[in-house]
Structure 1
Amino acid sequence: MTFARTDHISNLDTLPRMPAWITSARAEVIEDVAFLSGAALSHLQVVLGCAEVPHALLRDRLALRAAEACVAFSGRPERTAELRDAIHLLRPSDLPGPAGETYLAWRRAVERPVSVKTLARALPHVEASRIASWLDAGPGTPVTSAAMVLEAVWTEAPRADVPAFILADAALGQALGWTHVVPLLAAGLKRADLRKQGDDLRLACHRALLASAVEAVRLSVELTFRTAHLKAVAPKLRAKGAGDAVEIFLTRDAVAPSALPLPDRAARRLCDRLVDLGAVRELTGRDTFRLYGV
């Protein structure tokens, strides 16, 4: 993700937190909610402009939140643990299933800079020409653009929630000058919001982005500190290929030992060592088929 460098943020101790007046305010009318969501997005822009933030890891974790929201909207029971398993424990001959496909779509959407080609890769069942048409449906301010894209997709394809949210976040990011999709809308909206239109949908989007921008700032700060610790302990790792393994942890929400560039036993030992050093966490609570993440 490429953002303008914010030189006044020079170290981890000065990463800016979201101001309390944004998170504590209670607004009802669209003008007040729009003001707060704009302030929250502006603050998120500042945070994302800090080079210390692990942008790829942040996007991957936000993609998981978005996928979980979309799966819940569809009425399926899978949540974070099941979604991680569906992708990270997938064998070459396996299919990820409907929930895994949703998560895979979000991960592909955030991996590369925004383009119709990137979005078509994330949404292989949607024609590229249709993607381009939907993205052009929302001229105007960033939140208005995103809401118009949602409405355009749902008007043509009422059940296409995943494409609607991915393209709306893409439109929002493009309007804000971001190079990558940053998943925000899906995790902030409620089921009752999904079929709203016009001003009601714009108000719902402002509320969703206010909540999601606050969470994205909090997560950015948390991941920045955790990845800084991982980088600090990396010189203590003596296993061949440990440096490349650390780079994988710095970009992915969850990692299976089999995904690391080490022999299986060495990969498991490295993961256990990183847990002992407090640099990564074991995410499953299982004795086998474990997953690790920052």
Structure 2
Amino acid sequence: MTFARPDHSSDLDTLPRMPAWVTSVRSETLEDVAFSSGAALNHLHLVLSRVDLPHALLRDRLALRAAEACVAFSDRPERAAELRDAVHLLRPGDLPGPAGEAYLAWRRGGERPMSIKVLGRALPTFEPGQIATWLDAGQGAPVARAAMVLEAVLTDATRADVAALILADAALAHALGWDHLVPLLAAGLKRADLRKRGEDLCLACHRALISSAVEAVRQASDLARRAAHLKAVAPKLRAKGAGNAVEMFLTRDAVAPSALPLPDRAARRLCDRLVALGAVRELTGRDGFRLYGV
């Protein structure tokens, strides 16, 4: 995303915090909930305007959260750890399975600037023309537009929860002037919400975006601090290819040592070194087939 840079953008302590009243006030009417979700989205927009945020990493982390929600909607048991394994430990020729496909769809939807081509790559079972038709169903204000797209997809393809939520987030992002899809709606909605229509669905989307925007702001603040620390320790790394490896950690939720641009042993040593420096974390708790992330 490209936004105007404020003068203090290099000072992480100035990242704006979500006002407490956004979540503390219990809103019941559509008008009140819409006001709160608008405030939450505006605040998130300010946070996303910061050039010192690891934007790709944030989107990837939110994609994992969205995929986890979608998998739960399908009554599947996989959660974040299994989704990471399904995607990041995938070998050439292997299939990721239904849960892994959901995660891959969310990652592909947000990793590049939005376009019908990018959304088609994320949702290969749907024709680009169909995707464009669904997106055109959204009209009006951003959240209302997203709700209308969500309803249009679920009306035509009742089991296409992942596609519906990805396209709804795409409609929201486009209406807000964001270059990239930011996964928000899925993690805030309940499975029963996906059966709602009209104003009831719009109300559910407003509520979902309040909680998801709050979480996205929290994640952004946390990742900004962690990314700054990783960049600070990067000069201490002597391994050839360490710079490219650091860039991978700054854009991906999880990285397997085998994916790094180093020989296997050097990659494992680099990961251990980064853990010792407090710059990345080992995410699995296993002795083998480990994954690392900021």
TM-score (norm 1): 0.99
Q: Is this contact kept in 2: 1:6–1:46, CA < 8 A?
A: no
Q: How does 1:1-294 map to 2 (within 5 A)?
A: 1-294=1-294
The DSSP-based 3-state class of the residue aligned with 2:195 is coil
**Shift of residue 8 of structure 1?**
4.5
Letter in 2 for 1:118: V
- Farther off after superposition, 3-12 or 74-83: 3-12
The DSSP-based 3-state class of the residue aligned with 2:232 is helix
Letter in 2 for 1:214: V
Separation of aligned partners in 2, 1:211 and 1:139: 23
Separation of aligned partners in 1, 2:82 and 2:2: 31
The DSSP-based 3-state class of the residue aligned with 1:166 is helix
Separation of aligned partners in 2, 1:94 and 1:247: 26
Q: Is this contact kept in 1: 2:185–2:209, CA < 8 A?
A: yes
The DSSP-based 3-state class of the residue aligned with 2:179 is coil
**Shift of residue 22 of structure 1?**
1.1
**Shift of residue 20 of structure 1?**
1.1
Separation of aligned partners in 1, 2:213 and 2:201: 18
Letter in 1 for 2:124: P
Separation of aligned partners in 1, 2:102 and 2:212: 19
**Shift of residue 139 of structure 1?**
1.2
Letter in 1 for 2:120: A
| Structure 1 alignment gaps of length 5 or more | none
Separation of aligned partners in 2, 1:120 and 1:2: 23
Q: Is this contact kept in 2: 1:113–1:179, CA < 8 A?
A: yes
Q: Is this contact kept in 2: 1:109–1:181, CA < 8 A?
A: yes
The DSSP-based 3-state class of the residue aligned with 1:76 is coil
**Shift of residue 4 of structure 1?**
3.1
| Structure 2 alignment gaps of length 5 or more | none
Letter in 1 for 2:244: D
The DSSP-based 3-state class of the residue aligned with 2:206 is helix
Separation of aligned partners in 2, 1:128 and 1:201: 25
Q: Is this contact kept in 1: 2:9–2:52, CA < 8 A?
A: no
Letter in 2 for 1:24: S
- Farther off after superposition, 18-27 or 210-219: 18-27
**Shift of residue 109 of structure 1?**
0.3
**Shift of residue 23 of structure 1?**
2.2
**Shift of residue 151 of structure 1?**
0.5
Separation of aligned partners in 1, 2:111 and 2:288: 28
The DSSP-based 3-state class of the residue aligned with 1:194 is helix
Per-residue deviation, residues 144-190 of structure 1 (Å, max 9, x unmatched) = 00000011001111111011000000000000000000000000000
Separation of aligned partners in 2, 1:281 and 1:8: 29
Q: Is this contact kept in 2: 1:54–1:224, CA < 8 A?
A: yes
RMSD (CA atoms): 0.8
